[in-house]
Amino acid sequence: MSGMTGTSRARSRLFSRPAVLRTFALGLVGRLGYGVLPLSFLFTVRQATGSFSAASGAVAVFGLGALAMPLQARALDRWGQRRVLPLVAGTWVGLLGVALALSLFGVSAPVAWVAIAVPLGVCAPALGPSMRAQWRWFTEGTDLRARAYSVDTVAEEMLYLVGPAIAGGLLAVGPARNGLFLVAVLAVVGTAALTASPAATVRAELGPARASLLGPARRPGVPRLMATMACFGVGASLTLTGVAAAADAVGHPSWAGLVEACLSAGSVTGGVLWASSRRLLPPVPVLLTGSAGLLIGAAVTPFWVAAALIALGGLSWAPTFVEAFEAADRLAPEGQRTEASTLVNTSTNLTYALGTALTGALVAAGATPYLPAAAAFGAAALLARAWVRAR
């Protein structure tokens, strides 16, 4: 009971200021769009082109836009969230409108969908990194930063529990493009909340005027951290897109949303246990190794058995991100921590895109994506041993 009381007390301290709870809650509304978008965009392209390979290719190109995310984070630190976020989010909402128009007018050429996927990926607003930058401001001078990251990661994982379920529900009752409209609305709400926050006016992490082009990526330990998250991103994309392909193959694409929701539930459970006491779970490298083993089992079992194994493997996902964000803070200097945090997402998202493209090729060849996913998680486990916090 004392441990739970301490957890509740820390949570109360974290949200003691009204602006914190308001900013966090409405910011999560915006970030929910990132849970709805993958399946919605994948099946919007699938319905328009009639090809799952073309759809996974467009999603892969979208993910390559993550290369621009560190530059957006650098701009956020230099010019502030109130200047940068509305411009980026407004452009992104306009591009979602173009994608909606392509779907409405029945454009089936894959090249058209690849062409819209490129700027959609580049202009995706960095709502998650922006919130983490605000957490650093809100928790300055306290011992609550690690707690804030845990709460933020668990909440984000809950969005990936709710988001795919919403996307699956929309797929069940209408065309997938309805999800794109919803994502645009959510992005507007989240951007407005973050820019209205008092933390958005402070540029406490303004970097030097002549910062290196590579930024914190040159710091010792950061390349290994990025490599770990790159392997994790490949494994995650092969897993999730493999689930979508398996659901499509059995004639029930909406089932993909249910399975992704179950996986996110596993991740949320892992994050809650991690935030309560890290002694409740093994270290992150062990968790990732366990996920790899479960994916090997998923490769040789029927759809719903595989879904249960994949959901159990989700226990490692949220703890991996919490450890990675804390490691980014430790490894990067004060003026580059927002960008370092973004590099965690960028490494994951970039290889997520590559994994998505690989899934399309594997599915076309009749192979399962789960075995390569297991290998990627195994590589991440080996790399993580170098930077994970000692127990």
What whole-number distance in Å separates Cα of residue 68 and Cα of residue 162? Answer: 27
pLDDT of residue 335: 64
Per-residue model confidence as pLDDT tens digits over 9-18 = 556 677 877 7
pLDDT of residue 50: 87
Q: Which fold has domain 11-204+216-384?
A: Growth Hormone; Chain: A; (1.20.1250)
pLDDT of residue 10: 58
CB 55 within 8 A of CB 180: no
Residue 212, pLDDT > 70, answer: no
Per-residue model confidence as pLDDT tens digits over 356-377 = 778 778 877 778 889 999 999 9
What whole-number distance in Å separates Cα of residue 181 and Cα of residue 167? Answer: 11
pTM of the model: 0.73
pLDDT of residue 334: 67
What torsion do the CA atoms of 237, 239, 243, 245 make, to the nearest 10 degrees? 60
What whole-number distance in Å separates Cα of residue 315 and Cα of residue 291? Answer: 8
Question: Position of tokens 């969908």?
Answer: 113
Q: Which of 341 and 129 is assigned the larger pLDDT?
A: 129
Per-residue model confidence as pLDDT tens digits over 173-186 = 889 899 999 999 99
Nearest to 246 by CA among 352, 373, 351: 373
Q: Which of 12 and 347 is assigned the larger pLDDT?
A: 347
pLDDT of residue 8: 57
pLDDT of residue 252: 77
pLDDT of residue 202: 59
pLDDT of residue 383: 93
Domain chopping of the chain, boundaries: 11-204+216-384
Q: Which of 192 and 141 is assigned the larger pLDDT?
A: 192
pLDDT of residue 9: 58
pLDDT of residue 2: 43
Residue 323, pLDDT > 50, answer: yes
Average pLDDT score, the chain: 84
User: Among the ranges 142-146, 240-244, 279-283, which has the highest mean pLDDT value?
Assistant: 240-244
Residue 318, pLDDT > 80, answer: yes
Sign of CA dihedral 196, 201, 207, 212: positive
What whole-number distance in Å separates Cα of residue 267 and Cα of residue 264? Answer: 5
